[in-house]
Amino acid sequence: MMHLRVSFNVLYILSMCLGFLCVMFVCLWSGTWRGGFAWDGSFLQFNWHPVLMVTSLVVLYGNAVLLYRVPLPWSKWWRKVAHAGLLLVAVVLCLLGVSAAFDFHSANNIPHLYSLHSWTGIVTVALFTLQWSVGLGAFLLPWTPLAFKSFLKPIHVWMGMAIFILGLISSLSGINEKLLLTLVGGNGSNTEPYNALPAEALFANSLGILVAMFGLVVLKILFSKEWNNTEFEQESDRPLLADAR
């Protein structure tokens, strides 16, 4: 068991470091290379989009799913509340992140939702919002029948993983899209083209690689049977509020 715990701790600390680097890189990309932040319909409002999406759909989301694996003496009740609370923050931030992109498009007469990135992104956000709402109703409110909770549990777990993978796909295709649309080079551009790999391209590509690495480490922890805390496998007949008493 000592061997397993050490390995878990190594991977968990690695996931924390990668998550921190993802947030730092995406903030520096928007804040430094792309000129900073505003909420005025300009490019500076769009800059919130990658920051909010990577922070919410990747880093907060990944940490929220790992809460059921952390070997600390927390009750199931506290894990559920922390899981739902962290994901509520993530839902709010990702809806703000979508608004930043939509407002920027509207103010600049750019059509919404044309690219494959935007299609997977909007599906991810819609599924995430639905999943959070259904999860709240089914697993946190006290009147849900046990049979329904047991029926929903594997669907909730599966949907949770699907949304995370869709979030990774959307994040990487979005970073790639932003660089293709922004680093155009030539007359009228103050940057070198993407295909000349200027420093910004190297930095933002590295952000994409960090996001992918974070995602794969989270999924590794999630699907390693030895760290799957079996006490959380079965839904309790006692509603959450009763568990807390």
Contacting positions for a copy of itself (CB under 8 A) = 110-111, 114-117, 119-120, 123, 154, 158, 161-162, 165-166, 168-169, 172-173, 175-177, 179-181, 194-197, 201, 204-205, 208-209, 212, 215-216, 219-220, 223-224
The secondary structure of 92-135 as a DSSP string is HHHHHHHHHHHHHHHHTTPPSS-SHHHHHHHHHHHHHHHHHHHH
Please report how close the Cβ of residue 81 comes to a copy of itself at its closest, in angstroms.
26
Select 13 or 196, whichever has its Cβ closest to a copy of itself. 196
Nearest to 79 by CA among 216, 234, 215, 244: 244
How far, in Å, CA of 152 to CA of 148, rounded?
A: 6
Select 56 or 173, whichever has its Cβ closest to a copy of itself. 173
CB neighbour list of residue 68: distance below 8 Å, 6 or more residues apart? 79, 83, 229, 232
Please report how close the Cβ of residue 243 comes to a copy of itself at its closest, in angstroms.
25
What tokens appear for 95 in the block? 């809806």
Select 10 or 165, whichever has its Cβ closest to a copy of itself. 165
Select 196 or 242, whichever has its Cβ closest to a copy of itself. 196
Select 9 or 75, whichever has its Cβ closest to a copy of itself. 9
How far, in Å, CA of 226 to CA of 152, rounded?
A: 23
Please report how close the Cβ of residue 232 comes to a copy of itself at its closest, in angstroms.
15
Check: CB of residue 185 under 8 Å from CB of residue 191: yes
Please report how close the Cβ of residue 206 comes to a copy of itself at its closest, in angstroms.
9
Please report how close the Cβ of residue 178 comes to a copy of itself at its closest, in angstroms.
10
**Half-sphere exposure in the Cβ direction for 31 (13 Å, CA):** 8
Q: How many CB atoms lie within 10 A of CB 157?
A: 14
CB neighbour list of residue 211: distance below 8 Å, 6 or more residues apart? 22, 54, 58, 168, 171, 172, 175
The number of residues in the chain equals 245
